[in-house]
Amino acid sequence: MRIISYNVNGIRAAIKKGFIDWLKTDPADVICLQETKAVRGDVDTKALNDLGYHDYWFSAQKKGYSGVAVFTKIKPDAVELGNGHGPSDDEGRVIQLQFGDIRLINAYFPSGTSGDERQDFKYVWLDECLTWLNKLKKKHPKLILCGDYNIAHNEIDIHDPKGNKNSSGFLLPEREWMTKFYASGWVDTFRTFHPEPHRYSWWSQRFPSVRLNNKGWRIDYINVTEPLKKQLKDAEIYPDVKHSDHCPVYLNISLK
């Protein structure tokens, strides 16, 4: 199974920038999108279906905000919207798909960049999420959690760690949460194959030169639980795909 996770920063805007043409190149079997900023009716889903994708959406109650979607050529055995955490579900942050004994979770983690209130919401969300994941693992040991985590874990994952030590997304409590998350039985699939520096998945849009000069952050991940580690085949980041301020991250995993 080839999986892509991609924060499109608005699916309609991404489509105007050639997103459907990119899908025609068959980049993956399963495309997990975050920050769709749309409901299903806002998009010509026939164009997706004609390419062989089944499409599943979980949108925020607030129009034009947040939202996740999955386009998959492999029909799932089951689809579940949300994770039962009310404030998160109101913002359309989690969608789950079952493929045999593997459960794929597509999540859009909150950002705290707009101020203290949202940063506090982010910390509560992270704690709720880890509690939920630990419980879910008992029922579904083989989990894949992909999405925009809005956290750069280590100094290697950000172009300027010293300058950003007080920036949301690289705050010590956020990074410690990631460390605790991995210690609880998760694998960073990208780092399994790529220990090298300067590999990022998001660049600020404030200055065009930021992406050109690769002054980015790695905040998008496809992580798996330990029982799936032996099934990993490849992982990659695609910085040259430019429909968003993020780029796609990729995982190839054997289903058996």
Q: Residue 115 class from Cβ within 10 Å (0-12 exposed, 13-18 middle, 19+ buried)?
A: exposed
Can 55 be counted among the known catalytic residues? no
Percentages of the chain per state (helix, strand, coil), in multiples of 5: 30, 25, 40
Can 50 be counted among the known catalytic residues? no
- Return d(Cα 48, Cα 50) in angstroms, integer: 5
Residue 124, token pair as written in the block? 């509560």
DSSP 238-253: -TT--SSSB--EEEEE
**Catalytic hit among 108, 200, 221, 250:** 108
The alpha carbon of 203 is separated from its chain's Cα centroid by a whole number of angstroms, namely 15
Asked whether 210 and 203 are in contact (CB, 8 A), the reply is yes
Give the torsion sign (CA, 47, 53, 59, 65).
negative
- Return d(Cα 47, Cα 36) in angstroms, integer: 16
- Return d(Cα 145, Cα 162) in angstroms, integer: 29
**Catalytic hit among 56, 148, 188, 250:** 148
**Residues with active-site annotation:** 108, 148
